[in-house]
Amino acid sequence: GAGVSQSPSNKVTEKGKDVELRCDPISGHTALYWYRQSLGQGLEFLIYFQGNSAPDKSGLPSDRFSAERTGGSVSTLTIQRTQQEDSAVYLCASSLGADRADYGYTFGSGTRLTVV
Amino acid sequence: SQQGEEDPQALSIQEGENATMNCSYKTSINNLQWYRQNSGRGLVHLILIRSNEREKHSGRLRVTLDTSKKSSSLLITASRAADTASYFCARGGGGSYIPTFGRGTSLIVHP
């Protein structure tokens, strides 16, 4: 597609429920990143996928968080047993590849998650 | 990870004035990038400056890079109310493939 697409754009869920957030990167972009941003804060790195390599999960805050990327394209971020502190905007970005450091990152519009 | 820290945290100016915000970092880079974020949503890539460049222009934007001081600045000339947004820097390359962002500079341009 023309840009990075994220869905849903807004999600309200009850505490304890599981949620799935979707990211559809730009076609041909091999690198994909997930970040989250709490109100008034910077972007917190969560996970990074590069091609078929094992993902870098070093930013995931707990084992309730997981992500996968199917076929090197669409990615899903899953949060199990959501807590109120999970409320944030979840942002996805893609780029041509980690070794293409001369190119910037294209971000989606994010999913605003509210846990009530 | 490679942090970018922006300063000031907040900047309030009148339309027509110039806005300058700074970014500092700690390790080596291949490039430094500036992004804008409106209303807490997705970031928009503004400009990328390579480590071997010292200055770059794009429209009303001017970015400088001083690798000896590990700092960069973003200048927005003749600001407009529509420039109101948060601005972030992120570093690329230099041994890490994961760009990290600071809290950004919140710019308010009063009409």
Q: Suggest the residue from B41, B49, B89 to mutate for an interface test with chain A (most A CBs closer than 10 A).
A: B41
Q: Show residues of chain A in contact with B100, CB under 8 Å.
A: 43, 45
List residues of chain B with CB under 8 Å from any CB of chain A. Answer: 1, 30-31, 33, 35, 40-45, 48, 50, 88, 90, 92-93, 97-104
Cβ <8 Å between A104 and B102: no
A8: preceding bond cis by omega (within 30 degrees): yes
Mean residue pLDDT across chain B? 90
Q: For residue range B34-69, what is the model confidence (pLDDT) as tens digits? A: 999 998 678 999 999 999 999 999 999 999 999 999
Q: Give residue B39's pLDDT.
A: 80
Q: How far apart are CA B25 and CA B4, in angstroms?
A: 5
Tens digit of pLDDT at every position of chain A (116 positions)? 579 999 999 999 999 999 999 999 999 898 999 999 998 788 999 999 998 888 999 999 999 999 999 887 999 999 999 999 999 999 999 988 756 556 788 999 999 999 99
Picking from B33, B97, B104, the nearest residue to A98 by CB comes out as: B97
Q: Give residue B95's pLDDT.
A: 67
Residues 6+ apart with CB under 8 A from B51: B28, B29, B30, B31, B32, B65, B67, B93, B94
Q: Show residues of chain A in contact with B95, CB under 8 Å.
A: none
pLDDT, greater one: B99 or B85: B85
Residues 6+ apart with CB under 8 A from A83: A15, A64, A115
Q: Show residues of chain A in contact with B97, CB under 8 Å.
A: 31, 48, 50, 56, 98
pLDDT band, residue B1 (cuts 50/70/90):
very low
Q: Give residue B94's pLDDT.
A: 64
Which residues 6-45 of chain A have a CB within 8 Å of chain B? 31, 33, 35, 37, 39-43, 45
Q: Give residue A41's pLDDT.
A: 82
pLDDT band, residue B3 (cuts 50/70/90):
low
Q: Give residue B2's pLDDT.
A: 44
